């Protein structure tokens, strides 16, 4: 291990108790409208939670305020309503929780687990592995990026679908940013803190986030948070061989076609067919029949989607 310091005592009161053996979540970013790939993740996270008699919660991950797409938060809520997904707790918005993330950064500062970094993209160039240039400079934190120190050790986890996945963060990535120079809280920090505070136990999300997991495991270790269970889903691809995403201009979900699209998403996940009906009845049937072993193996779903 890199540090001799004991792990941080979680500084904040949890917003959910630990009596639930399973708490899952769907946590979209409002950087564009939800698309069919988003629906696949929503269905899988919901059905996996309900199949385990657990809670399913919704969180809007909107810390990257400059990238918020106009009206996309409203579209997310409209889609959830049209497809009849219901969060078991009140929906939270990360942009309303910046003081919480700052408090956690303060705790990390006290333990000397983070440092200020003045490196710009121009200085870093094309090198995606941070060399620790500012680690020993002792720069003031004001108006600088904040990085967390990582160790030269291998972190592994076993994904329920993708199998074992490992990374040496120091060699594969280097110390990574928790807060940008412009004050934006990084996704890695916000997601770890909120998963802990909301009592999340299981994360079901797309395979495009697989490589984030070791960073989040490391951060959870530094904060003294319990580790989670992970299931990374194969991705729906477009006719260009690209994952469906907002950046690749995937079509927004048509809420007028909610039952039909829901049926298609359940099928894309390899699950047993459900009757075309009201969405909440379809979701109940899909949850009752849910079988992770039927989800297509690998990181891509065969077929072309829009």
Is 57 in contact with 265 (CB distance < 8 Å)?
A: no
Annotated binding-site residue? 79: no
Annotated binding-site residue? 28: yes
Annotated binding-site residue? 19: no
Is 252 in contact with 33 (CB distance < 8 Å)?
A: yes
Distance of alpha carbon 125 from alpha carbon 128, whole angstroms:
8
Chain Cα centroid distance, residue 165: 17
Token pair 């490196």 in the structure block, residue: 119
Strand, helix or coil at 259?
helix
Other Cβ atoms less than 10 A from the Cβ of 146: the count is 21
Distance of alpha carbon 78 from alpha carbon 164, whole angstroms:
37
CA distances from 177 to 118, 186, 219, 270, 287 (A): 11, 7, 11, 37, 38
Tokens linked to 260:
């039909």
Annotated binding-site residue? 286: no
Annotated binding-site residue? 230: no
Annotated binding-site residue? 26: yes
Annotated binding-site residue? 134: yes
Distance of alpha carbon 199 from alpha carbon 15, whole angstroms:
7
Annotated binding-site residue? 25: yes
> Which stretches of 98-239 are DSSP H helices?
98-110, 121-124, 169-172, 187-197, 213-223
Annotated binding-site residue? 27: yes
Closest CA to 116 of 149, 84, 92: 149
Tokens linked to 197:
């505070």
| Feature table: binding site for L-glutamate | 25-29, 61, 187, 205
| Feature table: binding site for ATP | 246
| Feature table: binding site for Zn(2+) | 117, 119, 130, 134
| Feature table: binding site | 25-29, 61, 117, 119, 130, 134, 187, 205, 246
């Amino acid at each position: 291990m890199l540090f001799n310091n004991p792990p941080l005592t979680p500084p904040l009161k949890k917003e959910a108790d630990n009596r639930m053996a399973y708490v899952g979540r769907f946590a979209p970013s409002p950087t564009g409208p939800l698309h069919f790939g988003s629906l696949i993740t929503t269905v899988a996270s919901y059905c996996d939670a309900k199949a385990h008699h657990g809670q399913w919660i919704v969180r809007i991950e909107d810390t990257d305020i400059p990238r918020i797409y106009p009206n996309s938060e409203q579209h997310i809520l409209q889609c959830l309503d049209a497809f009849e997904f219901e969060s078991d707790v009140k929906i939270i918005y990360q942009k309303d929780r910046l003081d919480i993330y700052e408090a956690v950064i303060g705790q990390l500062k006290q333990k000397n687990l983070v440092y200020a970094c003045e490196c710009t993209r121009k200085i870093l160039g094309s090198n995606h592995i941070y060399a620790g240039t500012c680690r020993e400079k002792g720069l003031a934190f004001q108006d600088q990026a904040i990085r967390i120190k990582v160790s030269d050790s291998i972190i592994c986890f076993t994904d329920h679908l993708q199998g074992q996945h490992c990374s040496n963060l120091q060699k594969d990535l280097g110390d990574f940013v928790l807060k940008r120079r412009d004050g934006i809280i990084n996704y890695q920090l916000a997601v770890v803190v909120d998963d802990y505070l909301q009592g999340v136990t299981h994360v079901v999300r797309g395979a495009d986030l697989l490589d984030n997991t070791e960073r989040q495991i490391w951060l959870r270790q530094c904060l003294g948070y319990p580790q989670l269970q992970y299931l990374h889903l194969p991705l729906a691809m477009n006719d260009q061989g690209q994952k469906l995403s907002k950046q690749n201009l995937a079509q927004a979900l048509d809420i007028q076609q909610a039952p039909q699209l829901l049926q298609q998403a359940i099928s894309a996940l390899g699950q047993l067919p459900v009757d075309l009906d009201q969405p909440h009845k379809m979701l109940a049937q899909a949850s009752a029949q849910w079988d992770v072993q039927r989800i297509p193996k690998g990181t891509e779903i065969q077929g072309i989607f829009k």
